[in-house]
Amino acid sequence: MRAVVLSVYQTGRDRSPGRGRETLVSPYSPMETFGTATKDGISSTLGFRFRFGISSFGLQVLEPIEPFRLSENKAFRIDALAERLGGSLVGDGSALVSGIQSLADAGPADLSFYADPRYRRELSSTKAGALVTRERLADLPIPQIVHPDPFLALAALVDLFHPRPGHSPGIDERAFVAPSARIAPEVTVYPFVCIGEGAEVGARTVLHPGVFVGAGASVGEDSLLWPNVVIREGCRIGSRVVIHAGAVLGADGFGFARRDGKFVKIRHVGIVVVEDDVEIGANAAIDRGTLGRTLIRRGVKIDNLVHIAHNVEVGEDSAMAAQVGISGSTVIGKRVLMGGQVGLVDHLTVGDEAVLIAQAGVIGDVAGGATLSGYPARPHREVLKTVAKLRGLDRLKERLRRLEEEVRELREISGGLAALPGKSPEP
């Protein structure tokens, strides 16, 4: 498979003596990846520019290139991979694989995985050189690694074939670090990071460009904050926490009083506390407590675009998919699972190991272990029965129409009998 790369560039006039040519002025132009950093030095098939004064902006479609790989993969014997994963080998283990791909994209030198029967069609046409699967597939004539949990095996394989990129510890000169901030050894601080007065950053943590760590805030050891993450003042982030780009922790909650029909802001002076081993998705928002704290306990996984309001508590090892919204002061138990767009009103309690199916609208407390769906959220089995009944409404409507016609015909017959001399309808 080949890809087309779009490149946006900005040019300006080189005002050096004796020169009037256009040169690239954007220091982060992606052109530098594929050739010399000059507009005319790159082979292109299409281009256009808009000119504004002495600058112009353009778009080029570069020559097709091979798909981007995160790393140069090494080759591994399949039997060695089976041993490493703790799986059972089926077939020839001496073959080599140098990458891991989906069933549809895998080639003869790739390892793929199969764990979901919905991908049976892709399985029948895959060109993968080997497969990780939950059980032996007798009709597939390629080496197989049988593993009780292919997704767990996939996690290990991704780390093996695509090792995490290393970082060069140090503080870039373009970052701002307040004099009273405490930065532990081996921290990596990229350009344009801002670390406020009294803030703390633990050992081996990486802060990507644009990260803001407010005054008195702290980030633990071995954490990873991607570009433009905001940790507001006083908030505390644990160790081995991953926060993806654009997430904001510690913004004011949505709290207002009313006076003469107008809103009066209630300042939020609490904090956000995130315990160890938490992952927070891109553009998620976790508001600080009005008073006290908003608490995300150990091991919680939060998807992109999730909103957690002030003074919420989320229990250990719970997970929530994109666009979940949790209103203020709600308490979520341990190992709770929430599908996308689940919404919860304020001051609720959700018990341990409950499951809230996508788009459930929760307006009351949820017992531990319960599975709810729909709006308003009800036990999932009850919702399924209701849906089944709704699907039968058309048939019920047709039966009712026929009964009404029969009743009308009987009334007409009854009325005709009543009109005959000496005849009267039976009661």
Task: Using a pLDDT cut of 90, give the percent of the chain over it.
Answer: 69
Q: Which long-range contacts (CB under 8 A, 24 or more apart) does 172-176 make?
A: none
CA distances for 284 relative to 297, 319, 329, angstroms: 16, 13, 18
pLDDT of amino acid 419:
64
Per CATH, domain 170-380 is 2.160.10.10: yes
> What's the whole-number mean pLDDT along residues 186-202?
98
Contact predicate 194/213, CB 8 Å? yes
Residue-wise pLDDT tens digits, 128-161? 999 999 999 988 999 999 999 999 999 999 999 9
Q: Which long-range contacts (CB under 8 A, 24 or more apart) does 47-56 make?
A: 49/11, 54/12, 54/13, 55/10, 55/11, 55/12, 55/25, 56/10, 56/11, 56/22
> What's the whole-number mean pLDDT along residues 97-125?
93
Cross-strand bridge partners of residue 139: none
Q: Which two tokens stand for residue 173?
A: 């000169």
Helix, coil or strand: residue 125: helix
Cis peptide before 376 (omega within 30 of 0): yes
Contact predicate 126/112, CB 8 Å? yes
Domain range list for the chain? 6-62, 76-161, 170-380, 398-427
pLDDT of amino acid 317:
98
Identified catalytic residue from 162, 208, 310, 347: 310
More confident residue, 322 or 405: 322
> What's the whole-number mean pLDDT along residues 371-387?
92
Helix, coil or strand: residue 59: strand
Residue-wise pLDDT tens digits, 273-300? 999 999 999 999 999 999 999 999 999 9
pLDDT confidence tier of residue 12, bands split at 50, 70 and 90: very low
Q: What distance in Å separates the CA atoms of residue 217 and residue 202, rounded to the nearest whole number?
A: 11
Mean pLDDT, the chain, rounded, equals: 84
Residue-wise pLDDT tens digits, 329-340? 999 999 999 999
Buried b (16+ CB within 10 A) or exposed e, 63-90: eeeeeeeeeebeebebbebbeebebebb
For the domain spanning 76-161, the CATH number is 3.40.1390.10
Q: Is 310 a catalytic residue?
A: yes
